[in-house]
Structure 1
Amino acid sequence: MIYLREFTIPPKKVDELVFTPSKPKNPYFIPETNIPAYNNHYPFIIFRNRIVKPVEFSNITIFCGDNGSGKSTILNLIAEKLEINRSSAFNRSSFFDDYLKLCSYDMSSNFSSNILSNSKVITSDDVFDFLLNLRYANEGIDVKREELLSEYVESKNKDFKFSSLDDYEEMKKVVDSKRQSASKYVKDRTMKNIIGRSNGESAYMYFTENIRESGIYILDEPENSLSVKNQIKLVKYIEDSARFYNCQFIIATHSPFVLSLKEAKVYDLDSTPMVESKWTEIENVKLYYKFFKDREEEFK
């Protein structure tokens, strides 16, 4: 499903006028750009020669390029302009909002407030935080398990006499410890580890739990924390979500597996100006191909 049809960033002339006081008065001029203290004008300049026309979107649209090419920046601009939900912070900079005001977009008639509420930005930081929280939770559970095991041994060997209702909980511990095995005693008093899978499997689970029906999903380098096997699983999940569940995906990636998404529109930000390319024409993919092609005999 296509909700976002087109996104337009400031053209080169406007980008230049932001830095240029002139007469008659220049409506685009931002005085702070001429103050030496503001030596970082990001995201101005970065796309000046790179994106020269409105970006058109498919149900799956991918931006690829080296670090610093602007692929995460274009995702952040889209997300902020559309006011899509996000959890992690990003490099906003002093001039981000000024640049954002000069951006525009075109939505299809299918877009609605319900679609927006379902939509989400998912970054590698979000996945990392999720994995970290799981680890902390499990560490807490493991500590509790050790405490309960000590409690079991102590209760099992305790000579206890019930004297009032105030002793009920203590009596229950003693009775249970004498009737149950240590593992049963501990299991009944604590939940299982939240995570019984690898980091890669848990990272994949994060995507499947956060991508719902009918929404725009902006994924910034989703391959991070995923094994090749789980990247391939995620590719299939994205394809199915776009095809059957009315989702639109806008993705920044280095991964050849993610780039191979069926029917995706792929933009190469390493090209100046940016061009739409076949995924097999992307330099990063060709390097992978050459690497394995050169070692083809080793696979026989």
Structure 2
Amino acid sequence: MFLRAIQFTGKRGAAGKGYPFNIPAFRNVETISITRPVTFFIGENGTGKSTLLEAVAALCGFHAGGGSRSHSFSYQATESELKEHIRLSWRPKVTDGFFLRAETFYHFASYIDELAKEEPLILKYYGGRSLHEQSHGEAFFALFQHRFDRRGIYLLDEPEAALSPARQIAFLRLLWQMEQTGNAQFLIATHSPILLAYPGATIYNLDYSPLQSVEYEDTEHYRLTRDFLNNRASFFRHLFEG
């Protein structure tokens, strides 16, 4: 455990008016406690989970487009203002780690290819060959296997985006292996009911105002997937016959 809390700063105003407290999940929130090595952020699109992760990445010194503190490449900037309204509580602070953004991974892979022209050995951290020469899922998994092997904090925005269900389950194994070392902490924004099943993780649901910690079985991801698999015919009647 390195990051212990995400603390909101500044005046909240009446009923939490003004940014970032006009985001329902952050209304009247002072601190998001981080008590486990693996923490998930869930919620519908637009609830603020990726915005929060991006702000944490910025305060960690990671490139806003993804990567670590040493990476810098051009991409269409979407950097959040939220970083101006939070501070991070560390014990102890770490300076290494990685920020994965699924939506900018192509740009990151191109950047690594450019670096490899001068430093070919850099590819050992990505499976030994260009990330562009691997499928999207292979490239993600190569990154997880070969780059996430050092002491640090790892911020992952929708890591399941390129992973098959089998690869997602394999990723849970990697999470567990890294947690056992005591050298890695993960903050993950996800929609995946498979990843959310990771035992002992904290799950924060940003669909609530303010956000709430929830149990896996109480997430819509779990309940909807369970109900769909148990009774597909009923779902299809509702979807197609109405």
Deviations 1:203-244 (A, max 9, x none): 211222221221000000000011111111111101211222
Match of 1:106 among 89, 93, 101: 89
Match of 1:75 among 32, 53, 68: 53
CA shift for structure 1 position 132:
7.1
In structure 1, the partner of 2:239 is: none
In structure 2, the partner of 1:264 is: 201
Task: Give the distance between the partners of 1:65 and 1:125, measured in 2 at CA.
Answer: 18
When residues 64 and 13 of structure 1 are mapped into structure 2, their CA distance, relative to the original with a 3 A threshold, is same
- Tell me the secondary structure at the aligned position of residue 13 of structure 1: coil
Select the structure that is richer in strand.
2
Cα pair 2:5 2:89 within 8 Å, conserved: yes
Q: Aligned pair 1:91/2:78, yes or no? A: yes
Deviations 1:141-188 (A, max 9, x none): xxxxxxxxxxxxxxxxxxxxxxxxxxxxxxxxxxxxxxxxxxxxxxxx
In structure 2, the partner of 1:56 is: 33
Match of 1:213 among 139, 150, 156: 150
In structure 1, the partner of 2:183 is: 246
**4+ long deviations beyond 6 Å:** 15-18, 131-135
In structure 2, the partner of 1:121 is: 99
Cα pair 2:25 2:210 within 8 Å, conserved: no
Task: Give the distance between the partners of 1:8 and 1:14, measured in 2 at CA.
Answer: 17
CA shift for structure 1 position 91:
2.1
In structure 2, the partner of 1:234 is: 171
In structure 2, the partner of 1:3 is: 2
Match of 2:213 among 276, 287, 292: 276
Q: Which amino acid aligns with 1:123?
A: R
- Tell me the secondary structure at the aligned position of residue 290 of structure 1: helix
When residues 230 and 290 of structure 1 are mapped into structure 2, their CA distance, relative to the original with a 3 A threshold, is same
CA shift for structure 1 position 7:
0.8
CA shift for structure 1 position 272:
1.8
Q: Which runs of 5+ in 1 are unaligned?
A: 20-41, 136-192
Cα pair 2:64 2:79 within 8 Å, conserved: no
Q: Which amino acid aligns with 2:3?
A: L
Cα pair 1:4 1:106 within 8 Å, conserved: yes
When residues 3 and 133 of structure 1 are mapped into structure 2, their CA distance, relative to the original with a 3 A threshold, is closer
State the percentage of identical aligned residues. 28
Task: Give the distance between the partners of 1:247 and 1:226, measured in 2 at CA.
Answer: 21
CA shift for structure 1 position 199:
3.3
Cα pair 1:130 1:206 within 8 Å, conserved: no
In structure 2, the partner of 1:34 is: none
Q: Which runs of 5+ in 2 are unaligned?
A: 67-74, 114-128, 234-242
**Worse-superposed segment, 79-88 or 279-288:** 79-88
Cα pair 2:41 2:203 within 8 Å, conserved: yes
Cα pair 1:4 1:105 within 8 Å, conserved: yes
CA shift for structure 1 position 53:
3.4
Task: Give the distance between the partners of 1:270 and 1:12, measured in 2 at CA.
Answer: 23
Q: Which amino acid aligns with 2:79?
A: R
Aligned length: 209
In structure 2, the partner of 1:39 is: none
Deviations 1:27-58 (A, max 9, x none): xxxxxxxxxxxxxxx64521575462311112
Q: What is the TM-score when the length of structure 1 is the normalising length?
A: 0.60
Deviations 1:111-165 (A, max 9, x none): 3xxx31x211111034344667899xxxxxxxxxxxxxxxxxxxxxxxxxxxxxx
Match of 2:23 among 43, 46, 53: 46
Q: What is the TM-score when the length of structure 2 is the normalising length?
A: 0.73
When residues 242 and 13 of structure 1 are mapped into structure 2, their CA distance, relative to the original with a 3 A threshold, is same
Q: Of the two, which has the highest radius of gyration? A: 1
Q: Which amino acid aligns with 1:293?
A: N
Task: Give the distance between the partners of 2:87 and 2:53, measured in 1 at CA.
Answer: 14
